[in-house]
Homo-oligomer: A and B are copies of this chain.
Amino acid sequence: MTLQGKLLIGQRTVTGTRAEIQATDPATGKPLTPVYPGGGETEVDQACALAEDAFATYRETSLEERAVFLETIASEIEDLGDDLIERAMLETGLPRARLEGERGRTCGQLRLFSSVVRAGEWLDVRIDPALPERQPLPRVDLRQRHVALGPVAVFGASNFPLAFSVAGGDTASALAAGCPVVVKGHSAHPGTSELVGRAVQAAVAQCKLPEGVFSLLFGAGNEIGQALVADPRIQAVGFTGSRQGGTALMQTAQSRPQPIPVYAEMSSINPVLLLPEALKNRGKAIAEGFVASLTLGAGQFCTNPGLLLGVKGPELDAFLAAAGEAVQASTAQTMLTPGIHGAYQDGVGALAGHPRVREVARGEAGDGPYQCQAALFAATASDFLADEALQAEVFGASALVVECADLAEVQRVAAHLEGQLTATLQLDDGDRDLARQLLPILERKAGRILANGWPTGVEVCHAMVHGGPYPATSDARTTSVGSAAIQRFLRPVCYQNLPAGLLPEALQDGNPLGVSRLVDGKREV
């Protein structure tokens, strides 16, 4: 498929009229063709107008129609074949196996939401039948279902060019909820975005849905994104990226005449607590597991383990030595963009130059222009507690080990942390009592708590929480990965005393959709 360098607005391809964006091959630093002239307010307006038009139809498509649409998107993406993988490799520097895996994850995610749509749990059907004889007052018939919020703006993420980009988790869950989607594609991988966008466009046409169900915009700088979030027809925002970017979108969304929810997944250093027995019994194995997770994908994951806590002593020293050796042996990997590489260099430089931080090890230096040289640092807990800057995320394969004087200080540091996506306990049987004390602290800090694993590798399933207290995300009540992500784009509506013939199918007597329901407060399957 030849790339056209255009915006996709409904079924049209449109040439932008603003400043262009152009991808860079991060392995070589060379620009990639085509250029993508950016869109501006006009294109935002067109895409949002189409989305609003499409909403009336799309929100009330049958469960089956919507499920088939999601499956069709998955098939269309698969049908792009190797063109997609090759372009994504060029634009991101990620290896083929990773991108093939990510494509599988992306299509699996679309198919998961397809099954979620069909199962109908998301409708959260509640029925309180009329009680005409109740004293002192009768009760009328009341029924609740969830409905789609309206058109949703999705911002593609740089680090998952497929699974959290044009047809990624945010888009899949919003479409599953019945919301049209306007994507602002990430400037780092416009070609990948165009290919996937055209796959979605084809699925829209194939399923005979209104064209405004999906649009894909590009644009340099923040202008187009801000215009999109400010557009009165947009009713929610999905974003994965930096704290600064997410915070700016939150402010725009709150300043609108009608404020709207922003689901921004922003910043996390994913603390790992090395409990004493585990450290003693298998410190070396933990060190190896840690460095494998740290350096996976050049550390460019929201769930990268960037902070480790342990009690100072020979076990922690041995752990540091083993981890340092593994870091030294780690090969450099191309980072996603020159910008991410620059920020990584700055972050690592700041730690290396910090008077209270000790450099434990650096990985192999690469010979490409934008390569991530892994880094491991250490600091004492009292120094860590004294300097908030040491909590800042360094996006890439860099981690800080915090050496605590005792277990009480481990707890103090844990309690001092900002909100996180994940918190991990490395524990053995003898650590159980300590873990029991730490869990309530960690539950307040993180959306996911792991034992004896590593936070990278986020399962797409029903129980997953990829979320957490601010600044990990803008809304700790939600997840952006897994089937519960659909709830972000829904709101409840109650129907009181509606004639049977006017009730939505989900709420009709006899349960024609076969969904689980809460009847008079009791769950019926």
Contacts and interface: CB of A to CB of B under 8 A. Distances in A.
A477 B251 CA distance: 19
A459 interface: yes
Contacts of A452: 497
A447 interface: yes
Interface centre among A116, A471, A493 (most CB of B within 10 A): A493
B461 A258 contact: no
A63 B115 CA distance: 33
Given A261-B477, A470-B258, A516-B523, A449 B419 contact: no
Contacts of A469: 258, 491
Interface in A487-508: 490-499, 501-502
Interface residues of A, number: 83
A150 B444 contact: yes
A49 B169 CA distance: 39
Interface in A20-78: 56, 59-60
A205 interface: no
Given A465-B494, A523-B525, A524-B525, A459 B139 contact: yes
A463 B432 contact: no
A103 to B, nearest CB: 13
Contacts of A144: 462-465, 484
Contact of A463 (B465, B471, B494): B494
A518 interface: yes
B494 A126 contact: no
Copies in the complex: 2
A116 B427 CA distance: 35
A147 interface: yes
Interface stretch (A287-295, A315-323, A398-406, A434-442): A434-442
Contact of A453 (B121, B250, B496): B496
Nearest to A474: B259
A257 to B, nearest CB: 9
A268 interface: no
Nearest to A461: B128
Contacts of A143: 463
A479 B124 CA distance: 14
A491 B464 contact: no
A521 B115 contact: yes
A465 B128 CA distance: 12
Interface of A: 56, 59-60, 101, 115-116, 119, 121, 126-128, 136-137, 139-140, 142-144, 147, 149-150, 250-251, 254, 258-259, 261, 419, 427, 432, 435-436, 439-440, 443-444, 446-453, 457, 459, 461-465, 467, 469-471, 474-479, 483-484, 490-499, 501-502, 516, 518, 520-525
5 tightest Cβ-Cβ pairs between the two chains A and B:
A465-B494, A144-B463, A126-B463, A142-B463, A450-B496
Given A128-B459, A261-B477, 8 more contacts: A126-B484, A128-B463, A142-B464, A143-B463, A144-B465, A449-B498, A462-B518, A523-B525
26 contacts: A119-B522, A121-B518, A121-B521, A126-B484, A128-B459, A128-B463, A142-B463, A144-B464, A144-B484, A149-B476, A427-B499, A436-B502, A448-B493, A448-B494, A451-B499, A452-B497, A453-B497, A462-B521, A463-B518, A467-B491, A478-B492, A479-B492, A479-B494, A484-B492, A516-B523, A525-B525
